[in-house]
Amino acid sequence: MPKIDVSKGDLESLIGKNFSEEELESALMFAKGELDEADGDNIKVDIKDTNRPDLWSVEGMAREIKHHLGNPDFFEAEDSKVVVFAEPELKDIRPYISCCFVKGISFSDGMIKDLMGLQERLHAQIGRNREKVAIGISDFGQICPDISYKLATNDLKFPPLGHTELMSPKEILDKHEKGIEYKGLVKKGIPILVDSKNQVISMPPIINSNTLGRIDENVKDVFIDVTGTDKKLVDLTLLVLAMNFQERGGKVYRVKIKDFEGERMSPDLSEVVAQASLSECSEICGLELDAKTIIGLLSRSGARAEANGDTIIARYPAHRKDVFGSRDIIEDILISYGYNNLTSQKPNIATQGGESRSERLMGVVEDIMVGCGFQQAISFALTNEETENAKMRLEGSLCRITNPMNKNYTAVRRSLLPCLMDFLSKNRHNEFPQRVFEAGRVADGAGCEKFSVSAIISNSAVNYEEISSILEALIANLGFNLSLERADDPRFILGRCAKAIVDGVERGIVGEIHPEVIQNFGLEAPVLGFEVELGFLIG
Amino acid sequence: MGYILTEEGKKYLKEGFPEMRLIEEISKGEISFEKAKDMEGFNIALQWAKKNNWIRIESGIIKLSEEGKAAITENKSGLEAALGCPDEASEDDLDILLKRSLVRKESGISDELESLKGKEVLSLTPNLIKSGVWREVTFRPYDAQFTGKKFYPGKRHPYRNFLRQLKEKLVLMGFKEMEPRFIVPDFWNCDALFMPQTHSAREIHDIFMVDAALPPIDKNLAKKVGDEHEASWNYKWSLERANKCVLMSQGTALSAMQLLNLDIPGKYFSLAKVFRPDVVDATHLLEFFQLEGIVCDKSMNFRHLLGLLKSFAQDIAGAQEVKFYPDYYPFTEPSVQISAKHPDLGWVELGGAGIFRKEVTRPFGIEEPIIAWGVGIDRLAMFNLGISDIRELYSANLKWLRENYYYAKN
């Protein structure tokens, strides 16, 4: 969900209309935008659609809004004679390239800033950090076509953007900040773009040349190269940039790409065609819509639609690669109609509600423990090896996170007793006795989820029976039989610990916590505790 | 330990035993049975006089026997003496008196109770109550204005209470809860929701992967889902990738699983924990609860979706005013975001919704429209619990928990 800084005046001049804040808010909805902040001319727009890069810029918003206001501006491009030769050897390295050039642009400071912002968003949101898509924009005035996209050789030195000294591609990877940042993308070979005089235009996806590839207010004509690993996205990205330059008054020229697949003109301008039945449109919208109305609404979304019997065929311009089928058409109909112009209807379906079985039963366990006078704790489901094993004097497997973010949260909790010990450690200075329980979901080392309940009592003096009697009360009130059997468990004091056997099956443990465990959690008072796996109840 | 007379015993002591009165009457002249019947206590008298062999009945006339005559001569039965002084009575006599409820055992502290009469006592005891002596004592006043040592009852955690109340609202609206999970194959978290394996939200920074061994996805279903991906997203779909286990990162995963077993019409919700890699601070946690659900019926349309969201805004956020914005989710089209005007928080982004894409429902053979919705609850929870740091939702501060009177506020 890119949030985009926009000059309100700029947006208004692109659209050719001034807006009050309220009008602007409604207009932005056509571009799936929400006015996030407004501070005089500086506004921030949250564009909701992460699948519509054509909307991620002030030019894109203006284009979409103009369609909806009935003042459409269709994209046009003239075929040029310029050819880009892509060497077949790039097929396994960075296979796709799409290019075009635009003439007659008057750059302003703000435009250059906006352009850099859009480039960044495209790289981050769809380019997967320049792997799938990377953009280069150069001064077409300095380029002598035709152009070659090939593997760089190390004798080809050029000044990278921001530097004046000549560097070889290898030196750039080792020394230039962008080289260091993105060198992982060119392990198999370094692609380079040169003109007919062997002047370097750019070294995708890393850096432009400081001479041909530098954009400032003096540049009038630009050359755009987009390279990457996803053909559809490479072409879409080029198209989005080209359309934006047209919004700024530029004239776009297509170039011929000759690559391992053959020849094609770029950007690709073939229409996206989808269809929907009239009845589906009416049913999903909840409106009685005739073909004429639908065609009218779709034209405001930039689609040329026609009716063929009961079928609506919608032809979208090439940048609408997000359109897959009927539901996309229907959303466009609804957006043009205006979500807030629809009257809502309460769904009138009689169904019987209910809690899930496990949640209902956990509620019963909680009721009994609360009735026994225990305060409920709720802990994070994520924990770490130290809390589960080392501090509890245990060893054993845990369901581990393979990409942890934070050393405190590296695994799913296996038991609740350590969570409660952790709870006590945060309450050393609060009034005793402390009687706390937790009931919840845990997972074993294989990721198998179970339900568990644990309770602890901490006080200056404690007596085993205080906790064993609570465990008995819990199990009995759940309708099962508890018996205890002497056990030896490292978490508890030897001789003050028993296995909890519920209806003949071992389900848990009860006893007085081992002083070393108490110290491991930074505590000073004795602790009694139990933990029981609730498989007998919830299974 | 002594014996005292019952009310009946006292009466007998004063008026004589009924059987004695009967034989005394007969001794003045024989009486017919019919006439004697009118005497007070005749039944008891007859029973005991017969038992003692003091009388016989001949042709409807009651006659005195020799033993009867002797009893009158001695003027007093043994029992009368015993009743006069039960503490000294023979065991046999006492037995009869007890059986006839003429005497009862007196508690052993009568002297002590006696001594309390007219005095101020500290404690009300069972003996004071039973003996009735409480009527004759006064009680030392307490400082009734003192509430005593602070008592902390067992309670649910305030956040849990909030979640349970939400759940109750959903259940009352006819929604069935879906079983929560922590760990799911990524298939349910993303693939079944039409999120391509190349999607930016599926990267390592957005979903926690775990080492877990869950059963693999059914191959037939997997193929249908994979085909949808390949037809639309232009890449090679991998079953192996889909079978990788993750910590659920969106509650919609449970809705996707429900598609395997969907009642139509049906309404389902989940209030499940989801996990997202993030930096933990006052507004972010690695795990949080999401309220999500689906509604499926052949009649469902987009206006119902708006109506449903509006009722959530009213019932959950207490909001009357709402605004809808076009939105985007990979698994719904059309999609919408709802903002609601909370009475205290002002405009808040309440949630998002949409109609499941055909690409989502088709592999499950479902043709009816399914509304999918999600409501953000963290801000509402924080507001309800009066906290400003999201980490406090899971508060382990016992003092705060003991002093948080959630029920009173709601």
DSSP A153-178: -TT--BPBTT--S-B-HHHHHHHSHH
Contact between A351 and B176 (Cβ < 8 Å): yes
A376·B330 Cβ contact <8 A: no
Q: Where are the beta strands (DSSP E) in B72-153?
A: 103-106, 120-121, 138-139
- One DSSP character per residue, B161-185 reads HHHHHHHHHHHHTTPEEPPP-SEEE
Place of tokens 């994979």: B226
Among A32-36, A408-412, A529-533, B32-36, which stretch is predicted with the lowest mean pLDDT?
Answer: B32-36
User: Does pLDDT of B134 surpass 60?
Assistant: yes
Give the three-class secondary structure for A496. Answer: strand
**CATH architecture of the domain with residue range B3-115:** Orthogonal Bundle (1.10)
Residue A35: closest C-alpha in chain B: B325
User: Does pLDDT of A160 surpass 90?
Assistant: yes
Q: Residues of CATH 1.10.10 domain(s) within chain B?
A: 3-115
Instruction: Give me the pLDDT at residue B97, please.
Output: 86
User: Does pLDDT of B408 surpass 50?
Assistant: no
User: Does pLDDT of A81 surpass 60?
Assistant: yes
Average pLDDT, chain A: 95
Q: What is the CA radius of gyration of chain A?
A: 33
Place of tokens 């509402």: B380
**How far apart are the C-alpha atoms of B329 and A534, rounded to whole Å?**
38
Angle, CA of A340, A346 and A348, to the nearest 5°: 150
B278·A344 Cβ contact <8 A: no
Run of H or E including B292: strand B287-296
User: Does pLDDT of B58 surpass 90?
Assistant: no
User: Does pLDDT of B108 surpass 80?
Assistant: no
pLDDT tens digits for range B210-264: 999 899 999 999 999 999 999 998 889 999 999 999 999 999 999 999 999 999 9
User: Does pLDDT of B316 surpass 90?
Assistant: no
A283·B266 Cβ contact <8 A: no
Instruction: Give me the pLDDT at residue B67, please.
Output: 84
> In this structure, how many other beta carbons lie within 10 angstroms of the beta carbon of residue B391?
15
AA identity, residue B391: R
Q: Which of residues 177-206 of B touch A (CB under 8 A)?
A: 177-183, 198, 200, 203-204
pLDDT band at A441 (very low <50, low <70, confident <90, very high): very high
**How far apart are the C-alpha atoms of A455 and B104, rounded to whole Å?**
52
Residues of chain B contacting A32 with CB distance shorter than 8 Å: 325-328
Instruction: Give me the pLDDT at residue B36, please.
Output: 80
Q: Where are the beta strands (DSSP E) in A115-268?
A: 133-139, 147-151, 191-195, 200-203, 207-208, 222-228, 251-259, 262-266
User: Does pLDDT of A55 surpass 60?
Assistant: yes
User: Does pLDDT of B290 surpass 80?
Assistant: yes
- Give the up-direction half-sphere exposure of residue A513: CA atoms within 13 A in the CB hemisphere: 33
Identify which of A441, A436, A467, A468 has the alpha carbon closest to the alpha carbon of residue A452: A441
The answer to whether A430 contacts chain B (CB < 8 Å) is yes
pLDDT tens digits for range A483-498: 999 999 999 999 999 9
- State the pairing for strand pair B2-5/B103-106: antiparallel
AA identity, residue A342: L
User: Does pLDDT of B49 surpass 50?
Assistant: yes
Q: Residues of CATH 3.30.930.10 domain(s) within chain B?
A: 158-403
The alpha-carbon gap from A199 to the nearest alpha carbon of chain B, in Å, equals: 35
Average pLDDT score over residue span A298-317: 96
pLDDT tens digits for range A235-278: 999 999 999 999 999 999 999 999 999 999 999 999 999 999 99
Instruction: Give me the pLDDT at residue A88, please.
Output: 92
Instruction: Give me the pLDDT at residue B109, please.
Output: 61
pLDDT band at B3 (very low <50, low <70, confident <90, very high): confident
- Give the up-direction half-sphere exposure of residue A304: CA atoms within 13 A in the CB hemisphere: 6
The answer to whether B318 contacts chain A (CB < 8 Å) is no
Q: Which of residues 109-138 of A touch B (CB under 8 A)?
A: 125-126, 128, 132
pTM > 0.90: no
Angle, CA of A513, A516 and A518, to the nearest 5°: 55
AA identity, residue B15: E
User: Does pLDDT of B94 surpass 90?
Assistant: no
CA distance to A11, A20, A225, A335, B400, per residue, from A44 (Å) = 12, 15, 29, 21, 39
pLDDT tens digits for range A500-512: 999 999 999 999 9
pLDDT tens digits for range B141-196: 998 999 888 899 999 999 999 999 999 999 999 999 999 999 999 999 999 999 99
**How far apart are the C-alpha atoms of B127 and B287, rounded to whole Å?**
61
Structure-block tokens of residue A179: 């080289």
Orientation angle between helical segments A291-299 and A326-337, nearest 10 degrees: 80
Residues of chain B contacting A449 with CB distance shorter than 8 Å: 181-183
Among A125-129, A165-169, A390-394, B350-354, which stretch is predicted with the lowest mean pLDDT?
Answer: A125-129
φ/ψ (deg, to 5) at A47: -90, 120
CA distance to A25, B237, B270, B271, B345, per residue, from B187 (Å) = 38, 11, 18, 20, 37
AA identity, residue B83: L
> Domain B158-403 adopts which CATH fold?
BirA Bifunctional Protein; domain 2 (3.30.930)
Among A351, A378, A399, the residue with its CB nearest the CB of B267 is A351
User: Does pLDDT of B7 surpass 90?
Assistant: no
Instruction: Give me the pLDDT at residue B89, please.
Output: 82
Among A4-18, A466-480, B30-44, B315-329, which stretch is predicted with the lowest mean pLDDT?
Answer: B30-44
Residues of chain B contacting A344 with CB distance shorter than 8 Å: 303-304, 306-307, 309-310
Structure-block tokens of residue B163: 């979640």
